[in-house]
Structure 1
Amino acid sequence: MVVAITTARAFNQDVSAAKRSASTEPLIITDRGEPAYVLLTYADFERLSGRQKSIVDLLRQDDPESDFDFEFPRATFTLREIEL
């Protein structure tokens, strides 16, 4: 796996450059010369952590073109007398 390295100072001075770099590969951020943090995309984080998406995430329609119509059947209730 290819990674990029930057200092905490450089990260603070240009966060946008760090985000661009992390979009293609994980970015290690050093603090006083030692690796301290890793910046990566959320998709990479999910893949590495092995987290499974919830049913809500799986059913969510983020794409506006993925629209579909679904009508729930109307519920009908009937009343009956209770025998005591």
Structure 2
Amino acid sequence: MTVTTLPIQDFIQNAAEATSVANNEPVFITDRGRTTHVLLKFSDYQRLIREHRNMAELLAVPDMADIEFEPIRSRETAKPADFS
């Protein structure tokens, strides 16, 4: 599944296009670089509520466990947590 991310200003200007994309995949909407909303089909939302699954499970990429990922562990790239 591809991931579509739109800054909120692009979403405002292209809401029709965003809803068209959301027919096939979730659309993540960001504000100042932080994800603030997810646009998805109402039927997907209903399924999410009905199955009592969390959003992470619904949006999970199939076969993610098969992807090799080794994060860079360095004090230079580490940032303090932002809990705001």
Q: Structure 2-normalised TM-score?
A: 0.56
Number of the residue aligned with 1:18: 18
Greater Rg, structure 1 or structure 2? 1
Which ranges in structure 1 are unaligned for 5 or more consecutive residues?
52-84
- Map 1:54-69 to 2 at 5 A: none
Deviation at 1:3, TM superposition (A): 2.7
Q: Structure 1-normalised TM-score?
A: 0.56
C-alpha distance 41-12 of structure 1, shift in aligned 2 (>3 A):
same
- Greater helix share, structure number: 2
Q: CA RMSD in A?
A: 1.3
Structure 2 CA distance for aligned equivalents of residues 27 and 49 of structure 1? 18
Structure 2 CA distance for aligned equivalents of residues 42 and 2 of structure 1? 19
Large movers: runs of 4+ above 4 Å:
none
Structure 1 CA distance for aligned equivalents of residues 30 and 21 of structure 2? 15
Deviation at 1:2, TM superposition (A): 3.8
Higher relative contact order, structure no. (Cα contacts within 8 Å, ≥ 6 residues apart): 2
Q: Equivalent pairs: percent with the same residue?
A: 37
C-alpha distance 20-2 of structure 1, shift in aligned 2 (>3 A):
same
Which ranges in structure 2 are unaligned for 5 or more consecutive residues?
52-84
- Map 1:1-84 to 2 at 5 A: 2-50=2-50
Q: Cα deviations across residues 13-52 of structure 1 (Å, max 9, x unaligned)?
A: 111110011010000000000000000000000111117x
